[in-house]
Amino acid sequence: MTEPTLRIDAGRCQGHAICYLLAPDLFEVDDEGRGSVIRDTMKSDGDQEQAAIAIDRCPERAISLRSA
Ligand code: F3S
C-alpha cells in the first residue's frame, strides 16, 4: 500500500500559517505566511497526529493527507 502524502493546495492557502505553528516539523511558511510541506511522509504516530491537527485547523481546508 502507498504511504499517504501530505500536501497543501496552493490555490486554497491564504497564508494563515497555522499549519507551521502547530506542526513546524512538517510545514514551513514564506514571508507572506503561505505554507509549504517540508516533509511529506509520516515517520511516526506523532507526525500523523500533527498532520491531522493541522488539517483540522486550517481555515481554508488547504491541507490534505492522501495516497498518491
Ligand atoms: Fe495556508 Fe492553511 Fe497553512 S491557509 S499557511 S495551509 S494553515
Q: Answer for the pair 32, 54: CB distance below 8 angstroms, yes or no.
A: no
Determine if ligand 1 sits within 6 Å of the CB of residue 58: yes
Whole-number Cα distances in Å, 26 to 13, 56, 66: 16, 15, 15
The confidence score (pLDDT) of residue 66 equals 86
Helix ranges restricted to H, 1-63: 18-22, 45-57
Instruction: Provide the number of structural domains found in the chain.
Output: 1
Of ligand 1's listed atoms, the one at least distance from the Cα of 60 is: 4
CATH number at residue 35: 3.30.70.20
Domain that holds residue 26: 5-66
Please give the Cα distance from 27 to 40 (Å, whole number): 9
Tell me the CA–centroid distance for residue 2 and ligand 1, in Å: 25
Q: Which residue has the cell 488547504?
A: 62
The confidence score (pLDDT) of residue 4 equals 84
pLDDT in tens, 15-62: 999 999 999 999 999 999 899 999 988 888 999 999 999 999 999 999
Tell me the CA–centroid distance for residue 16 and ligand 1, in Å: 5
Tell me the CA–centroid distance for residue 55 and ligand 1, in Å: 9
The pTM of this model reads 0.91
